Structure 1
């Protein structure tokens, strides 16, 4: 009986101690006893891109799948060889797998689908750091038989560097906002209770060339290289941070 009473007493003491610890934790610097200040800080940097990806597509329709495939491969090979003369990085020229599909059209008189031929296509992208090559590569593509220019994507080579810059601005903005609230309501800003990044975003700037909206027509032998202008805009790198600060008594 005495042992049973001792066990009950020990349990009661343990529960009391636990309750006391929880209560003490509730009076810590991040408790709601004196309130909190919640803010969202935002940071943004604009950086001129230093990389570009040029996107092309070659497509043809032939009577047989083999003819269509060979025509596309011939064009891509020719394009690859002329691009080699630019001495770009080995990974600069990327050609996707070739796709061959049957092409049909609906015959109104016969009321059925008619096989037109076989369509083969292949996407090609070229990554460059020298934007002055854009017009030259376009001309190479057209002369090689590439019949679609799909546009360009500009990007940054050192994304992490600019992410950190935007994050630092977001943190500074959160601190400033929190202090502004504290000063405005005449309270003392305490230490942060909760900190987290909401999101980080790096924009992708896409540009269409003046030949991107239609099939590129074959160039005559006496055609000179067409000088194209491309308005390059800064890429926006942004960051958002959520912060909660306690209010000191």
Structure 2
């Protein structure tokens, strides 16, 4: 009985290998959707950096300036959830020429500015309060999720249009999609902005423009496989 089952199993496997695998006619195409948006908010990272040869004094000076910066931010009526301390550090640095340690203290504040018309006032006030580093300014949209959805839909439409263009010359039609791969890479463009003028150089009676916000591109990339009919 076992011998007979073994023979049947071998016969079934032989028949299976002998059968031709049916290929499904299909086409693979890529699509890109792009939505251009004017940013309506910015994420700003600013830092107070102080140096000296006494760790306690360096930290104290740094704390005083950060306290002044935070008071100014609150005076700008920003919501408490729109600013936070991002990083705090106090590091020894050895001076090999003088053969002694110096200390470097830094504190970084991250600010979400939802009204770009306040940018100049905010940055000037922060510098006056003691901020001496602008680490990063990233422009973005408060409606990012909505625009990402629009970009994905445009990407699918472009993929289907490409497929229809290809098969139009061979007498076939594009059928249903069988696979969709999202190849989108999140990328947040850095801003283009002009250097902020000092209070001494600026003519306060003349409106100033220190930002060139421009547009940001919200992009989606997909790969789609369609059945050919």
Same fold (TM over 0.5): yes
> Is contact 1:152–1:209 with CA below 8 Å preserved after alignment?
no
The 5 A counterparts of 1:120-159 are 120-159=105-144
Query: How far off is 1:116 after superposition?
Result: 6.0
Q: How far apart in 1 are the matches of 2:55 and 2:79?
A: 33
Give the one of 85, 90, 99 matched to 2:89: 99
Aligned length: 226
Residue 174 of structure 1 aligns with which residue?
A: 159
Q: How far apart in 2 are the matches of 1:120 and 1:5?
A: 82
Secondary structure of the structure 2 residue equivalent to 1:91: helix
Residue 30 of structure 2 aligns with which residue?
A: 40
Secondary structure of the structure 1 residue equivalent to 2:174: strand
TM value normalised by structure 1: 0.77
Cα 1:209–1:13 change in 2 (3 A) is: same
Query: How far off is 1:7 after superposition?
Result: 3.2
Give the superposed CA RMSD. Answer: 3.0
Whose Rg is larger?
1
> Is 1:84 matched with 2:69?
no
> Is 1:195 matched with 2:185?
no
Unaligned runs of 5+ in 2: none
Cα 1:237–1:180 change in 2 (3 A) is: same
Secondary structure of the structure 1 residue equivalent to 2:184: strand
Query: How far off is 1:8 after superposition?
Result: 4.8
Q: Mean Cα displacement is larger for which, 174-183 or 228-237?
A: 228-237
Q: How far apart in 1 are the matches of 2:51 and 2:2?
A: 92
Q: What do the CA deviations read for 1:166-219 (whole angstroms, capped 9, x no partner)? A: 1111111111111111112333333333321222434333244514xxxx97x6
Query: How far off is 1:16 after superposition?
Result: 7.8
Q: How far apart in 1 are the matches of 2:48 and 2:191?
A: 20
Q: What do the CA deviations read for 1:73-95 (whole angstroms, capped 9, x no partner)? A: 00000111121112211122222
Q: Mean Cα displacement is larger for which, 170-179 or 185-194?
A: 185-194
Give the one of 230, 233, 245 matched to 2:211: 230
Secondary structure of the structure 1 residue equivalent to 2:79: coil
Give the one of 40, 45, 59 matched to 1:69: 59
